[in-house]
Amino acid sequence: MSTTILEEVWALFRETDRQIKETSAQQKETATQMKETDRKFQEMEQWFKQRSEEFSKEMKERDEAFEKRMKEQEKVFLNQRDNFNKRLGVLSNRLGDFIEAFIEPSVVRLFQ
């Protein structure tokens, strides 16, 4: 073999070795990045889980407060309705008394 061919072969070996080292370094960097990505994903997953629990708790508290207010409003409404019905009954009775007071004497005379 001639010296040039031997030098070319050695150059190819050196280039292959360099590429292998570069690939190895890239694989290590990729592995490091994947570990970091996994760590960030786990942190994010934990954050979402915590927020989800807080959100569920907050929604439950809001629902309970809403139900309480609705029951209170229903009581107020029913109380106001009952008061209105009582007042309407009193007014109707008074109107009836008024009409009786004016009509009764005329009706009595008509039938006599």
Q: What is the DSSP letter of 1?
A: -
Q: How far is CA 72 from CA 65, 68, 82, 85, in A?
A: 11, 6, 15, 20
Tokens of 72: 């209170």
With 70 as the cut, is the pLDDT of residue 1 above it?
no
Q: How far is CA 14 from CA 18, 21, 106, in A?
A: 6, 10, 132
Chain segment 2-49, per-residue pLDDT in tens:
778 889 899 999 999 999 999 999 999 999 999 999 999 999 999 998
pLDDT at 110: 76
Give the Cα separation of 18 and 66 in Å (integer): 70
Reported as a pLDDT band with limits 50, 70 and 90, residue 80 is: very high
Question: In the chain, which residue ranges form alpha helices assigned H by DSSP?
Answer: 3-111
Give the Cα separation of 59 and 54 in Å (integer): 9
Q: Which comes out higher in pLDDT, residue 96 or 1?
A: 96
pLDDT at 38: 95
Chain segment 90-112, per-residue pLDDT in tens:
888 887 888 878 887 877 777 77
| Integer-rounded Cα radius of gyration of the chain | 47
Enter the pTM of the model: 0.46
